[in-house]
Structure 1
């Protein structure tokens, strides 16, 4: 378990920086898309071509979220949406490693904690679950 916003973002960036073939991302919040973008763009430039982004439909009501998805991510990722997603996650290289970030508003501030790959089955299970969610999601269409 990893705790704290910066710790969770740093761990996510480490996975993004080490991806060789694929990156599968679930991101329901603008904050994570903004933090991950430069790393994901660099991954694309170094040859990571299988990039998928799964977002929550409700998040598209946020103008900043919609703008970053449309103007930045749509050029480098295949994007689909679901009515609901659970947390933020990064799955790299078909499940070689995975990291899930959960957030919760506690008292007057946001609390962040992440679940890291610490078992041989966690990465492949995360990959399987991401693919299930992605295949049953709707391709994102912009107006």
Structure 2
């Protein structure tokens, strides 16, 4: 807190009343953001980043370091790497360290299955379908 006065140079005893002025502490940059990420799927071919901290009315968020918004959700994101930052709304020069978030490519649908088919016979009254492709631990069949 500072006491500001003015005085007359021709009569140094003529001094104004005191104006009290407070200079605030240097504002802190927000903490590095944390975020939940929703990756694209075949059904929903875009990603989403949702800021989980820091939160509050005093923050704005960006995924490119240029465009900021009050909302914590960034939706309809294409694949790529995003630099997530938070900044103080009271001092836009106070920007957090960036959190790097990667949105993956949209996964490809598996190839159309191929199968061996065994038809029912009089001796064996049920049929059988055996998938021959695609095969692997990452597949389920219906």
Structure 1-normalised TM-score? 0.21
Structure with more contact order per residue of length (Cα contacts < 8 Å, sep ≥ 6): 1
Structure 2-normalised TM-score? 0.21
